Amino acid sequence: MPVAVGPYGQQQPACIDRIKMGFMMGFAVGMAAGAMFGTFSCLRVGMRGRELMGGVGKTMMQSGGTFGTFMSIGMGIRC
C-alpha cells in the first residue's frame, strides 16, 4: 500500500510506530484506571501504608499492560 503524503511533504508514521503509540496510549489510560480501581479495592479490604502502595502499583501495572496490549492490537489492525 502506498504511503500517503501530507500537505507539507511529511509522511505518515510507519505501522510499527503506530503500534508503539497505541501501546503507550493504552498503557497510560490503563494506569489511570488502575490507580482509581486499585485504590478503592485496596482500601475496601483494609490495606494501609506500604501494603496499600504495593497493591495499587500492582493493579496499575496489570491494567496498564492489559489495556496497552489491546490498544496496540487495535492499532495494528487499523494499519
pLDDT of res. 14:
87
* Residue pLDDT tens, the chain, 79 long: 566 665 676 788 888 999 999 999 999 999 999 999 999 999 999 999 999 999 999 999 999 999 999 999 999 998 8
Provide the whole-model pTM.
Answer: 0.78
Domain boundary assignment for the chain: 15-77
R_g of the chain computed on alpha carbons: 18
pLDDT of res. 71:
95
pLDDT of res. 79:
85
Length of the chain equals 79
CA distances from 72 to 2, 28, 33, 61, 66 (A): 22, 12, 17, 16, 10
